[in-house]
Amino acid sequence: MLFKITFVSANVIAVGDSSATLVIGKPFPKHIFRNLLNYHEKSLSTNSFIGKWTILDFWGTFCVPCVAGIPKLEALHKSFSASLQIFLVGVDGEPKIKNFVNRMNKQGHEINLPIIIDDGFSNQLQINSVPQEVWIDDKGIVQAISDYEYITESNIRIFLKNEYLDIPDITETSIPRDSNKPFLINGNGGNGETLAYHSVLTKYVRGLYGSHTFPDKGRGTKINVFNSPIRALYMVACGDSNGQYPYSRILLEMKDTTRARFNHIGNFEVWKLENEYCYELIVPESKKDSLLSYFRADLDRYFGLKVKKEFRTEPCWILHEIDISKLKTKGGKKDYKFDVTGIGVANQPMSELWDLLWYFHQKEILIDETTFKGNVDIDLNCNMLDMNDLNIGLRKYGIEFRAENRQVEMLILSDY
């Protein structure tokens, strides 16, 4: 999963300098980084990449896949330390990165890789999603620009031998898309201004980020999903006024589940061309209550799956209250912050806390059985991905998750 960057560093360098363009087969642009962590020098010139093999991992503290991948990068750096250097390039500013690193270290998850705190250079390089990897050879030439998944031991060995890296360029087919205009309308018989109804489904489109929108309370005149598998399409289409259908409560009872999700077997680049889709639906104002049902009908017609909702007994994490009074806000300024090392909620509704807990555990079934409805204060300093560590923090505020089997509604996708 890629996270699109929608902010810039506090110390932004003007965008548009063509000398800072990333091009495979060309030298990596010249720059001097002056804000580093875990590095033996106070500054780092890109000229120093010459004579060494280098991978720059662009990441953000807000990006769960980025953080989850750091231990793998640490291990690979250790294995290839004689020939390879790996730098973590943090894109979301000095205060957040330093605070994140300090919290990780205190929690026993020490980061040893050198960290470059981006000074706005990533904007010049047009790094607009994370995680993103830039591979630079010992002559300072960019050899690949890739997704994180291509950082593997076998690819690194090929890289260090100066052999051809068969890695798709994440930037080569990036195409612009105006979210205010109908998808695929490009002046063919008009510009779409008179469009009354529009429904389109395509296979994977190179250059578009995997993403989706969901209308407020499930009602609206437009909905779209880009470069997503069948499971994600139904996750959106089967939502309701509370939001999209939970990913963790979709069961695939199919002869071949790879139709609906990638099972990490085989080549992902080949799989996505046949199994990811783009969809957009635009309806008139008078049909806004039917938006999701129309979406669902389109999917049913094309994919021919049997789709139903039924109750099943499933393992769940239930949020229980021990002493809910400990959560009650003391008032004051409203605040909201999060990363993998913890969350902070001040004078916010209980629903905001729940949304953060769900964000870090989307693959698990979470059920809230607390009764508190007011605003809360909570400041957790823990590994949000580790339920045991999370519970230690939550208990200080009078709540905890417990593993229990429960009857819950599930969305069943079947082809038999």
Q: pLDDT digit string (tens) for 260-311?
A: 999 888 888 889 999 999 999 999 999 999 999 999 999 999 999 999 999 9
Q: Do 33 and 110 belong together in one domain?
A: yes
Lowest mean pLDDT among 53-62, 176-185, 313-322, 347-356: 176-185
- For residue 356, tell me if it sits in a domain: yes
DSSP 77: H
pTM of structure:
0.79
The owner of tokens 């010049």 is: 124
Last residue of a domain, one of 241, 273, 304: 304
- For residue 414, tell me if it sits in a domain: no
For the cut 50, the answer to whether the pLDDT of residue 5 exceeds it is: no
Structurally, the chain folds into a number of domains equal to 3
> Looking at residue 19, what is its pLDDT?
55
Q: Which of 57, 23, 275, 22 is nearest to 149 (CA)?
A: 57
Backbone phi and psi for residue 68, each to the nearest 5 degrees, phi listed first: -65, -25
- For residue 284, tell me if it sits in a domain: yes
> Looking at residue 179, what is its pLDDT?
80
* Residue 121 CB neighbour total at 10 angstroms: 22
- For residue 32, tell me if it sits in a domain: yes
- Find the mean pLDDT for residues 394-414: 97
For the cut 80, the answer to whether the pLDDT of residue 315 exceeds it is: yes
> Looking at residue 267, what is its pLDDT?
82
> Looking at residue 400, what is its pLDDT?
97
Sheet holding 53-59, edge to edge: 36-37, 115-117, 84-90, 53-59, 132-136, 142-146
List the structure tokens of 212: 């989706």
Pick the residue with more confidence: 185 or 381?
381
Q: How far apart are CA 158 and CA 47, in angstroms?
A: 23
> pLDDT tens digit string along 92-149?
889 999 999 999 998 988 999 999 999 889 988 988 888 999 999 999 999 999 988 8
Q: How far apart are CA 281 and CA 79, in angstroms?
A: 49
Q: Do 213 and 283 belong together in one domain?
A: yes
Output helix, strand, coil percentages for the chain, rounded to the nearest 5: 30, 30, 45
Residue 285, burial from CB neighbour count under 10 angstroms (0-12, 13-18, 19+): exposed
Q: Do 251 and 293 belong together in one domain?
A: yes
- Find the mean pLDDT for residues 350-377: 94
Q: What angle do CA 314, 316, 319 make, to 5 degrees?
A: 150
Domain that holds residue 273: 198-304
Contact present, 113 and 105 (Cβ < 8 Å): no
Q: How far apart are CA 405 and CA 349, in angstroms?
A: 28
Confidence of residue 7 (pLDDT cuts 50, 70, 90): very low
For the cut 70, the answer to whether the pLDDT of residue 64 exceeds it is: yes
> Looking at residue 17, what is its pLDDT?
40
